[in-house]
Homo-oligomer: A and B are copies of this chain.
Amino acid sequence: MISTDALRELLPGGRVFDDPDVLTAHSRDRATFCPAGTPLALVRARDTGDVSAVLKWAHDNRVPVVPQGARSGLSGAANALDGCLLLSLEKMDAILDVDAEEQLAVVQPGVVNGVLAATVAEKGLFYPPDPGSRSISTIGGNVSTNAGGMCCVKYGVTGDFVRGLEVVLADGRVMRAGRRTAKGVAGYDLTRLVVGAEGTLGVVTEVTVALRPAEAQPLTAVAFFPEVVDAARTVTGYLAGGHRPSVLEFMDASSVKAVQQIADLGFPEGMAAMLLVQSDRGDQAPADLAAFGEVARARGAAEVVVSDSAAEGEMLMQARRLVGDAHEKLGKALLIDDVCVPRRHLADLVEGLQRIAEHHRVQVLCSGHAGDGNMHPVVAFDDADAAETERAQQAFDAIMRLGLDLGGTITGEHGVGQLKRAWLGRELDETGLWASRAIKSALDPHNILNPTRVLP
Interface residues, chain A, CB within 8 Å of chain B? 100-103, 124, 145-146, 148, 152-153, 156-157, 159-160, 169, 173-177, 179-190, 192-193, 195-197, 201, 212-214, 236, 239-244, 284, 340-344, 369, 371-374, 407-416, 420, 424, 427-429, 431-432, 434-436, 438-443, 454-455
5 pairs from A and B in contact (CB 8 Å cutoff): A101-B236, A181-B412, A183-B369, A183-B372, A186-B416
Is there an interface contact between A181 and B340, defined as CB atoms closer than 8 Å?
A: yes
A188 to B441, CA, bound (A): 13
| Chain B residues within 8 Å of A431, by CB | 169, 173-176
| Chain B residues within 8 Å of A442, by CB | 438-439, 441-442
A75 to chain B, nearest CB (A): 10
Knowing A186-B409, A189-B192, A242-B124 are in contact, say whether A432-B175 is a contact too (CB < 8 A).
yes
Given contacts A183-B374, A185-B196, 5 further A-B contacts (CB under 8 A): A124-B242, A175-B435, A176-B429, A185-B413, A188-B197
| Chain B residues within 8 Å of A159, by CB | 189, 192
A62 to B441, CA, bound (A): 24
Which residue of B has the minimal Cβ distance to A343?
B102
Which residue of B has the minimal Cβ distance to A125?
B242
A51 to chain B, nearest CB (A): 13
A183 to B160, CA, bound (A): 11
A238 to B110, CA, bound (A): 33
Is there an interface contact between A153 and B182, defined as CB atoms closer than 8 Å?
A: yes
Which residue of B has the minimal Cβ distance to A201?
B188
Q: Which of A146, A148, A188, A409 has the most CB of B within 10 A?
A: A188
| Chain B residues within 8 Å of A153, by CB | 182
Which residue of B has the minimal Cβ distance to A243?
B213
